[in-house]
C-alpha cells in the first residue's frame, strides 16, 4: 500500500469515523447471487459424473476443492469470505481517510489472505479444466501437449507468485503494519500485475485450446458449432480476468484512496473465481441435458456410454477405445436399425440424431476426433 505524500493528505477532507460514506451492499448482493449459482452447478457436475456416468476423475475433485468450503484448504468459498469481511468489517468500501489505523491493518491482513486463496482457487479450477481436456485429447495430439504444458506453467508461475507474496516484506508483518519503514517491502504493484497478466493469458489459452479439436470432429456442422458455442462461455472468464487486471493497475498505480477504489477489485476477484468454476462445470452438464431430451422423445431411460476413461475412471484418456462404440454394435444387431460409421455422414438414424447415443462430451469427442496417435 502506497502511503500518500503530505500534499495529497492535505487535500483530504476531515475524517468521519462514526458514519463514513460507503459503497453500500452492492458487493454483498453480487456475492450472495453468484455463489449459490456456482454451488448448484458444481453439485450438478458431481451428480452427472458420479451418479449418472459413474466415472469421476481428478478433474472433478479438483474443481470441488476449488469451489466448496468443506475444509480450510478449499479455496473458492474462502475468497468469498475474505471479500465479505473486507468490505463489511474492515473498510474496503469506504474512503481511506475515514478509516482508523486498526481497520487499515485488519484490511491489509484480509487482503493478503484473499490473494493467496485466489491463487489456489483459480489454479485448481484451471488445472481441473485442463485435465478434462485429456479425456478426449488423442495421444500425441497438440491439444494434449498444450494442456500438459499449460498445467506445469500455471503451477510454476503461481508457486513463484505465492513465494513473492509472502516474502515481499521482511518481516512479513510489515505488509499490514503500514507505518513501518517502506524499505521493509518491495513495491507490490509489479508482482500483482504480473500474476494478473498470467491469469488473463491462462484463461484465454484454456478457452482457445480445444476449439481446433472440435472443428476437426466428424460431427454435423450444427453440432460442431454447438460444441464451440458451449466452450465459448469461457470468454466470460477472460473478460472477468481483464477487469481484475485493470482494477489492480488502477489501485496500485493511480490512486491513494485504495479502499474506496479497491471495492471494484474485490468484486471482480470474487466474480472471476466463481465464473471459472461455473464455466468449467457447464460442459459436463451435456449428459444431464441429453438424458432428459432423450427420455422425453423416446419414453425410456437413456444408456450412458463409457468413454475413453471407462477403465477405472481415471480420466487420462487411456481407457478401452472400443467401449465407446458399444451402442453402435448393439444397434447393428437390432432389425431395422442402421447406423453411421462416421457421425458426420448423416444417413442412418436410430430414433434420433447420432448424438443421442453420447451422453457426455468425452465419449462424443473420443469417437469422432481424428486419430493422431503415432503409427
**Pair (275, 293) in one structural domain:** no
Cβ pair 63, 277 in contact under 8 A: yes
**Pair (324, 263) in one structural domain:** no
Written in H, E and C, the secondary structure of 209-238 is CCHHHHHHCCCCHHHHHHHHHHHCCHHHHH
Domain endpoint, select from 237, 253, 284: 284
Rounded distance, CA 122 to CA 7, Å? 40
pTM, two decimals, is 0.74
Cβ pair 199, 212 in contact under 8 A: no
Report the CATH number at residue 212: 1.20.1070
Structurally, the chain folds into a number of domains equal to: 2
Q: Where are the beta strands (DSSP E) in 16-163?
A: none
Q: Single out the residue of 348, 349, 345 nearest to residue 368, CA to CA.
A: 345
Q: Name which of 33-37, 241-245, 290-294 the model is least confident about.
A: 290-294
Domain endpoint, select from 231, 262, 284: 284
pLDDT greater at residue 323 or residue 232: 232
pLDDT tens column, 75-128: 456 777 788 888 888 888 899 999 988 888 988 998 898 898 888 888 888 999
Rounded distance, CA 276 to CA 271, Å? 8
**Pair (181, 120) in one structural domain:** yes
Domain presence at residue 7: no
Encode 181-215: b = buried (16+ Cβ within 10 Å), e = exposed.
eeeebeebeebbeebbebbbebbbbbbebbeebbe
- Residue 288, C-beta contacts closer than 8 angstroms, at least 6 positions apart: 44, 47, 48, 52
* Alpha carbon separation from 319 to 31, 310, 312, 359, 371 (Å, rounded): 40, 6, 8, 17, 15
**Pair (268, 334) in one structural domain:** no
**Pair (263, 310) in one structural domain:** no
By percentage, how much of the chain surpasses pLDDT 70?
73
**Pair (341, 205) in one structural domain:** no
Domain endpoint, select from 250, 268, 284: 284
Domain presence at residue 5: no
Give the Cβ contact number of residue 82 at 10 Å: 25
Domain presence at residue 215: yes
The range of the structural domain enclosing residue 312 comes to 288-368
**Pair (240, 144) in one structural domain:** yes
Say if residue 338's pLDDT is above 90.
no
Rounding to the nearest 10 degrees, give the CA dihedral for residues 16, 17, 21, 25: 180
Rounded distance, CA 48 to CA 217, Å? 24
Q: What does the pLDDT read at residue 324?
A: 36
pLDDT tens column, 231-273: 777 788 899 999 999 999 999 988 999 999 988 998 898 888 8
**Pair (155, 244) in one structural domain:** yes
Amino acid at each position: 500500500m502506497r502511503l500518500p505524500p503530505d500534499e495529497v493528505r492535505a487535500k483530504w477532507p476531515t475524517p468521519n469515523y462514526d458514519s463514513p460514506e460507503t459503497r453500500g451492499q452492492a458487493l454483498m448482493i453480487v456475492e450472495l447471487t453468484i455463489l449459490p449459482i456456482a454451488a448448484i452447478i458444481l453439485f450438478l457436475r458431481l451428480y452427472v459424473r458420479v451418479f449418472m456416468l459413474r466415472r469421476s476423475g481428478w478433474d472433478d475433485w479438483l474443481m470441488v476443492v476449488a469451489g466448496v468450503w468443506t475444509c480450510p484448504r478449499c479455496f473458492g468459498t474462502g475468497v468469498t469470505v475474505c471479500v465479505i469481511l473486507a468490505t463489511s468489517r474492515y473498510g474496503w468500501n469506504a474512503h481511506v481517510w475515514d478509516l482508523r489505523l486498526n481497520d487499515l491493518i485488519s484490511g491489509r491482513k484480509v487482503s493478503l489472505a484473499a490473494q493467496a486463496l485466489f491463487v489456489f482457487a483459480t489454479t485448481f479450477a484451471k488445472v481441473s479444466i485442463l485435465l478434462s481436456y485429456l479425456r478426449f485429447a488423442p495421444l500425441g495430439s497438440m491439444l494434449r501437449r498444450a494442456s500438459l504444458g499449460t498445467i506445469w506453467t500455471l503451477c510454476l508461475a503461481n508457486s513463484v507468485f505465492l513465494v513473492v507474496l509472502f516474502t515481499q516484506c521482511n518481516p512479513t508483518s510489515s505488509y499490514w503494519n503500514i507505518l513501518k519503514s517502506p524499505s521493509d517491502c518491495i513495491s507490490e504493484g509489479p508482482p500483482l500485475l504480473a500474476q494478473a497478466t498470467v491469469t488473463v493469458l491462462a484463461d484465454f489459452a484454456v478457452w482457445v485450446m480445444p476449439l481446433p479439436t472440435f472443428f476437426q470432429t466428424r460431427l454435423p456442422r450444427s453440432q460442431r458449432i454447438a460444441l464451440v458455442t458451449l466452450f465459448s462461455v469461457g470468454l466470460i472468464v477472460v473478460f472477468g480476468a481483464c477487469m481484475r487486471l485493470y482494477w489492480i493497475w488502477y489501485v496500485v498505480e493511480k490512486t491513494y484512496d485504495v479502499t474506496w477504489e479497491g471495492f471494484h477489485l474485490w468484486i471482480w476477484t470474487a466474480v472471476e473465481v466463481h465464473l471459472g468454476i461455473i464455466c468449467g462445470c457447464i460442459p459436463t452438464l451435456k449428459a444431464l441435458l441429453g438424458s432428459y431430451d432423450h427420455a422425453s422423445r423416446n419414453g425410456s431411460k437413456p444408456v450412458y456410454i463409457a468413454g475413453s476413461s471407462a477403465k477405472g475412471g481415471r480420466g487420462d484418456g487411456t481407457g478401452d477405445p472400443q467401449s465407446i462404440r458399444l451402442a453402435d454394435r448393439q444397434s447393428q444387431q437390432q432389425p431395422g436399425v442402421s447406423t453411421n460409421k462416421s457421425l458426420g455422414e448423416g444417413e442412418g438414424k436410430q430414433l434420433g440424431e447420432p448424438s443421442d447415443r453420447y451422453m457426455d462430451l468425452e465419449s462424443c469427442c473420443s469417437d469422432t476426433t481424428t486419430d493422431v496417435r503415432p503409427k
